[in-house]
Structure 1
Amino acid sequence: MSWFVSSFLAIGLWCLTYGAGLLVDSYPLRMSLEAVGLIAAVWTGPLFLMFTLEYTGRTATTRSWQAGVIMAPAAAISGLILAPQYHSLLWSGVRPAPVFGLSVPTYTIGPLLYLITVFVLVCTGVGALLLVETVLNYGPLYRTEAAAVALSTLPPAAGALPWLFNVGPAPQLNLAPLLFLGHIALDGYAFVGSNMFETNPTTERAAERSAVEDLGSPTFVLDTADRVVTVNDAAADVFCLDRETVLGSRLSALVDVDLTDGADRQIVSVTTDSRDRQFSVVTSPLTDPADRRVGRTVVFQEITREREREQRLDVLNRVIRHNLRNEMTVIMGHADLVSRRSDDEEIDASAETIKASGERLLATGEKAREFERLRGREPRSDPVDVVELVDALTTEIDIEFPNATVEADLPSTPTIVETDPQVLSLVVSSLLENALAHNETDDPRAVAAVASAADGIELTISDNGPGIEADELAPIRKGEETSLEHSTGIGLWIVSWGVSMLGGEIDFETDGDGTAVSVRLT
């Protein structure tokens, strides 16, 4: 903000001295005011350029030797103007040439005055271009302000050029100070009348830099030829790269990765500190404000722990399912043998209890295996007639539970939903089995109903059982189990995970008179 104010003070001093000189008849004093005005004019350009550099997020430039390069010419030219012996470089042949009753001199413009004009115009033009480029990066929101900034340089330039090249009806009259009013008005609209100062691009540039530098994952920024433009510290450390020497190199020469468009999700293995680490490669296109592709970012997300955990879980699942099936087969076989060879009713009852528990455990293992199989494949989305699917499943469950009543409350017309039929079948069958397997009433009953809902369908499985305990539902609703809150079975988890895979919603209503589970699909 200080650079902005300083540039406007320089403009104000130039305009003030030139205006005062128009009212002065003493030409020594008139030319002294002219010299002071030229010093102010010299500084308008670099001060405006320094403001634009700081405003557009290039603060480092304003605090480096480059700032000295920008300011040094203004200081040198100001020194020459202050020394009368060098005024011949500014003008010669000074003589009165009043215009409209104003005290206006005419003179031959010297090389230093041409240099001042070019220097100011270049600094101002570069500053305006920086502002336009930065403001346009915000999209259409600030395009009007960008146009105002670009046009603000035209009025004073239009006023100075006829005087500089001695053309026009009154070439001795420099209209630039007067036309600076247009410059101030346009800049005032862009910087004060709008909220450009409230959305300083410095924040955006700092965020862009920190987004790459502070990202914990190794990140490369590439151009359209897949050459490295930027690399963060994490990438340099993981891949043992020198940040300076890799710039301009193709990423494929540094890391074994396929950047072909449409390439499948890749896993890159890297050995660091004598251990293997796995990274998932994620690429994202980079586009300019005109939506033209200018490069891409490549982020390597470490998945070592996830892969190790997944591998351990796969081993545990496989071993537990295999051992569970084998051991339960042995247990149920022996329970059946005990039941057949014993005449003791109490022993027979215990054997039947063992067999029933074994069958439930085997069923649980099969459900888990089925769910794992479905989870491991690519999700499907097919047109499914939910009415036909539920009708078929209620028939199967009715046969499986001959002592229970299974009903279907279904519409008379098909109800089609785009979903995964196998996952939906697993969800519905699991809900029906849960409704009956834990129902110890004299007349166990389950009803499957399908109804239209907003943007989809609602499937409800209700029963007349004892209801689900709050401790059973708490971890399902929270999505996690703790040492204090955990479910005793896997059935409700399979239902919850299955509904999540389908992108649906699930709701439980339960009390001592029964449970109603509603699944909404869109």
Structure 2
Amino acid sequence: MVADILLGAVVAGGSVAAGVGALGLAGYLIRHRGSPGVNWFITSFLATALWCLTYGFGLLVDIYPLRAYLEAVGLVAAAWTGPLFLMFTLEYTGRSATARSWQSGVILAPPAAISGLIVTFPYHSLLWTGLGPAPVFGLSVPGYTVGPLLYLMATFVFGCTGIGALLLVETVVSYGPLYRTEATAVALSTLPPAAGVLPWLFNVGPVPQLNLGPLLFLLHIALDGYAFVGSNMFETNPTTERAAQRSAIDDLGSPTFVLDTADRVVTVNDAAVDVFGLERESVLGEPLTTAADVDLEGGADHQTVSVTTDGRDRQFSVVTSPLTDPADRNVGRTVVFQEITREREREQRLDVLNRVIRHNLRNEMTVVMGHADLIEGRSDDEAVEASAETIKASGNRLLATGEKAREFEQLRGTETGTESVDVTELVQARTTELRAEFPDATVEAVLPSSPTTVETDPRVLSLVISSLLENALAHNETDDPRVVLTVELLPPGGIEITISDNGPGIEAEELAPIQKGRETSLEHTTGIGLWIVSWGVSMLGGEIEFDTDGEGTVVTLRLE
């Protein structure tokens, strides 16, 4: 007898405690209301609390038909627990569109209809038959034969709960450790109540008339409490990551295809539909070569293709990235088409323009220089001879500019490579050339005694150093032009090259466009030398500084 009383107290008290715990968690979650899934979960806990409380207190009430009404109210609450849990998981796992569409009506309409049938139980026998007292452990337990409505309700509730649990499991698998503990705890929390309800539903076990589901909700509350309080389940959630993945494709302005391992189209974004004139549904499952009418090289990650759309040829840079699952298995790839038509057309125009200008400049300046020599040789007029010399000097500067442009254009058209470069040898070669070109100038090189080998592109570095030295001497009009080139080693494997001169210094107007990276009608350089230096340093991945004070210029180049 004492044991029965204790067991009865545990069942009734545990059911009431579960209801109180559900109310407590609902109150705790209010601080997170508005977060994905929270409002649905709060409502689910309120339904759970109503079920557990009415069942727990009902075990102490032996007055009929009041006891029957308490049973009915508890069943109404139970009918909502599964659907509300499913609505929570839909929003929490980033499927809020489904939770807010007509599909939500499919989920919520059945419990509403079932609730209406339950509260009208006196007028039909769909809910139960043979309702009457069936006390056990000193509790007022109602005994009855389960009707079809309860079986239907249980099937729907278990189905919703199972789907919700699977969505959480999918979250664990798809999103890794970030949400693993929270989602696992909530998914497992659905098992204890189900284990308590099933024996009652199918009338099996030592006390089949006793529904232990409300009592076992204590474990449910404990697991959910861990997820909310211990792991901060709603501080971070999969909605953010799922939305990011979706928007990464949908909001991308470039045509994007997601392919499976057989290169069949799984999904496309709006840009792909617009650019390639696709019908989204019809291309799903089709090979990419058929859907977009392009042929891609097998394993190339980057390639360029020409696509004819709207009656014109368009150039695209195609970037392919593999897709892997959490187990690092290949599941497909993404193919992104970045249009480069304008860039290619611009490059083509520049190439033509550069070639024509350099060709015409060289040919026309050869004519000019020839006539300048002729005039100088046939005239005894000093003024005419001086003008001829001025023409020749200007012509030489233009030819030198054209030659520099040609050299840099050749470098620009090739990939920058790296190799071990003896900077000492390279500097000595350049300074020797400069001494021959400017015999009246002093060109000094201060080199370290230890090896000065660096990994870089020798062609670009040579062009940068030559341009800096020539610029320092060409614009130096002093009686004793002087330039000093100093090389210092930078740990762990870099160099610093300093070129200083005693010239007039580089004017601020010349440096401003270089430092800003662009020219305007008001700010522009008078030559191409500094631009070649700036572009070359950028190609080498280095840094350059100019320090000029009107009494000379110090240029510092660092490569690390």
Q: TM-score range by the shorter chain?
A: over 0.9
| Alignment-derived partner of residue 489 in structure 1 | 527
Q: Write the distance in 1 (CA, Å) between the matches of 2:88 and 2:302.
A: 47
| Alignment-derived partner of residue 513 in structure 2 | 475
User: Structure 1 stretch 406-415 or stretch 229-238: which is displaced more?
Assistant: 229-238
Q: Write the distance in 2 (CA, Å) between the matches of 1:417 and 1:156.
A: 71
TM-score (structure 1 length as normaliser): 0.92
**Residues 460 and 518 of structure 1 are in contact (CA less than 8 Å); yes or no, is this contact kept in structure 2?**
yes
* Corresponding letter in the other structure for 1:157: A
**Residues 41 and 84 of structure 2 are in contact (CA less than 8 Å); yes or no, is this contact kept in structure 1?**
yes
1:171 CA drift (Å): 4.7
User: Structure 1 stretch 295-304 or stretch 373-382: which is displaced more?
Assistant: 295-304
| Alignment-derived partner of residue 98 in structure 1 | 136
| Alignment partner of 1:498 is 2:536 | yes
User: Structure 1 stretch 298-307 or stretch 458-467: which is displaced more?
Assistant: 298-307
- From 456, 481, 486, the counterpart of 1:449: 486
| Alignment partner of 1:262 is 2:300 | yes
| Alignment partner of 1:69 is 2:140 | no
Q: Write the distance in 2 (CA, Å) between the matches of 1:64 and 1:140.
A: 30
Q: Write the distance in 2 (CA, Å) between the matches of 1:92 and 1:19.
A: 22
Cα pair distance change 1:416/1:84, threshold 3 Å: farther
| Alignment partner of 1:392 is 2:429 | yes
Cα pair distance change 1:33/1:511, threshold 3 Å: same
1:440 CA drift (Å): 1.0
Q: Could you list the per-position Cα deviations for residues 87-119 of structure 1 after superposition, in whole angstroms to 9, with x for gaps in the alignment?
A: 4754647442321x3333455545544443333
| Alignment-derived partner of residue 515 in structure 1 | 553
User: Structure 1 stretch 318-327 or stretch 283-292: which is displaced more?
Assistant: 283-292
- The runs of 5 or more residues in structure 1 that have no matched partner are none
* Corresponding letter in the other structure for 1:437: A
| Alignment partner of 1:48 is 2:59 | no
| Alignment-derived partner of residue 17 in structure 2 | none
Report the 3-state secondary structure (helix = DSSP H, G, I; strand = E; otherwise coil) of the residue aligned with 1:489: coil
* Corresponding letter in the other structure for 1:61: T
| Alignment-derived partner of residue 218 in structure 1 | 255
User: Structure 1 stretch 372-381 or stretch 102-111: which is displaced more?
Assistant: 102-111
Cα pair distance change 1:507/1:91, threshold 3 Å: farther
1:78 CA drift (Å): 2.6
| Alignment partner of 1:160 is 2:197 | yes
* Corresponding letter in the other structure for 1:279: F
Q: Write the distance in 2 (CA, Å) between the matches of 1:496 and 1:42.
A: 73
- The runs of 5 or more residues in structure 2 that have no matched partner are 1-37
| Alignment-derived partner of residue 473 in structure 2 | 436
- From 39, 61, 66, the counterpart of 1:24: 61
**Residues 380 and 419 of structure 1 are in contact (CA less than 8 Å); yes or no, is this contact kept in structure 2?**
yes
1:503 CA drift (Å): 0.8
**Residues 217 and 301 of structure 1 are in contact (CA less than 8 Å); yes or no, is this contact kept in structure 2?**
yes
* Corresponding letter in the other structure for 1:248: G
**Residues 462 and 517 of structure 1 are in contact (CA less than 8 Å); yes or no, is this contact kept in structure 2?**
yes
Report the 3-state secondary structure (helix = DSSP H, G, I; strand = E; otherwise coil) of the residue aligned with 1:217: coil
User: Structure 1 stretch 420-429 or stretch 150-159: which is displaced more?
Assistant: 150-159
**Residues 302 and 317 of structure 2 are in contact (CA less than 8 Å); yes or no, is this contact kept in structure 1?**
no
**Residues 302 and 319 of structure 2 are in contact (CA less than 8 Å); yes or no, is this contact kept in structure 1?**
no
- From 155, 163, 175, the counterpart of 1:118: 155
Report the 3-state secondary structure (helix = DSSP H, G, I; strand = E; otherwise coil) of the residue aligned with 1:265: strand
Report the 3-state secondary structure (helix = DSSP H, G, I; strand = E; otherwise coil) of the residue aligned with 1:244: helix
Q: Write the distance in 2 (CA, Å) between the matches of 1:212 and 1:262.
A: 21
Q: Write the distance in 1 (CA, Å) between the matches of 2:188 and 2:423.
A: 65
| Alignment partner of 1:129 is 2:157 | no
Q: Write the distance in 2 (CA, Å) between the matches of 1:190 and 1:385.
A: 63
Aligned-pair Cα RMSD in Å? 2.4
- From 210, 222, 227, the counterpart of 2:264: 227
Report the 3-state secondary structure (helix = DSSP H, G, I; strand = E; otherwise coil) of the residue aligned with 2:485: strand
Q: Write the distance in 1 (CA, Å) between the matches of 2:399 and 2:233.
A: 68
1:149 CA drift (Å): 1.7
| Alignment partner of 1:151 is 2:198 | no
| Alignment-derived partner of residue 423 in structure 1 | 460
Cα pair distance change 1:416/1:94, threshold 3 Å: farther
Cα pair distance change 1:426/1:291, threshold 3 Å: same
User: Structure 1 stretch 331-340 or stretch 256-265: which is displaced more?
Assistant: 256-265
1:138 CA drift (Å): 4.1
TM-score (structure 2 length as normaliser): 0.86
* Corresponding letter in the other structure for 2:546: F
User: Structure 1 stretch 408-417 or stretch 76-85: which is displaced more?
Assistant: 76-85
Structure 1 residues 291-370: aligned runs within 5 Å: 291-370=328-407
Q: Write the distance in 2 (CA, Å) between the matches of 1:107 and 1:309.
A: 84
Q: Could you list the per-position Cα deviations for residues 423-462 of structure 1 after superposition, in whole angstroms to 9, with x for gaps in the alignment?
A: 1111111111111111111111111111122552211111
Report the 3-state secondary structure (helix = DSSP H, G, I; strand = E; otherwise coil) of the residue aligned with 1:319: helix
Structure 1 residues 280-295: aligned runs within 5 Å: 280-295=317-332
Q: Write the distance in 1 (CA, Å) between the matches of 2:183 and 2:327.
A: 15
**Residues 461 and 536 of structure 2 are in contact (CA less than 8 Å); yes or no, is this contact kept in structure 1?**
yes
The percent identity for this pair of structures is 76
* Corresponding letter in the other structure for 1:219: T
- From 202, 223, 239, the counterpart of 1:186: 223
| Alignment partner of 1:242 is 2:279 | yes
Q: Could you list the per-position Cα deviations for residues 143-178 of structure 1 after superposition, in whole angstroms to 9, with x for gaps in the alignment?
A: 221221222212222333444455666554333212
* Corresponding letter in the other structure for 2:110: P
* Corresponding letter in the other structure for 1:277: R
Q: Write the distance in 1 (CA, Å) between the matches of 2:93 and 2:309.
A: 42
1:200 CA drift (Å): 4.8
Q: Could you list the per-position Cα deviations for residues 211-237 of structure 1 after superposition, in whole angstroms to 9, with x for gaps in the alignment?
A: 433333222222222212222333223
Cα pair distance change 1:264/1:205, threshold 3 Å: closer
1:412 CA drift (Å): 1.0
Report the 3-state secondary structure (helix = DSSP H, G, I; strand = E; otherwise coil) of the residue aligned with 2:365: helix
Q: Write the distance in 2 (CA, Å) between the matches of 1:398 and 1:137.
A: 68
Report the 3-state secondary structure (helix = DSSP H, G, I; strand = E; otherwise coil) of the residue aligned with 1:519: strand
Q: Write the distance in 1 (CA, Å) between the matches of 2:41 and 2:376.
A: 97
Cα pair distance change 1:275/1:93, threshold 3 Å: closer
**Residues 212 and 232 of structure 1 are in contact (CA less than 8 Å); yes or no, is this contact kept in structure 2?**
yes
1:122 CA drift (Å): 2.1
User: Structure 1 stretch 20-29 or stretch 377-386: which is displaced more?
Assistant: 20-29
Q: Could you list the per-position Cα deviations for residues 166-192 of structure 1 after superposition, in whole angstroms to 9, with x for gaps in the alignment?
A: 566655433321222332332244345
| Alignment-derived partner of residue 496 in structure 2 | 458
1:27 CA drift (Å): 4.8
Q: Write the distance in 2 (CA, Å) between the matches of 1:199 and 1:519.
A: 47
* Corresponding letter in the other structure for 1:488: T
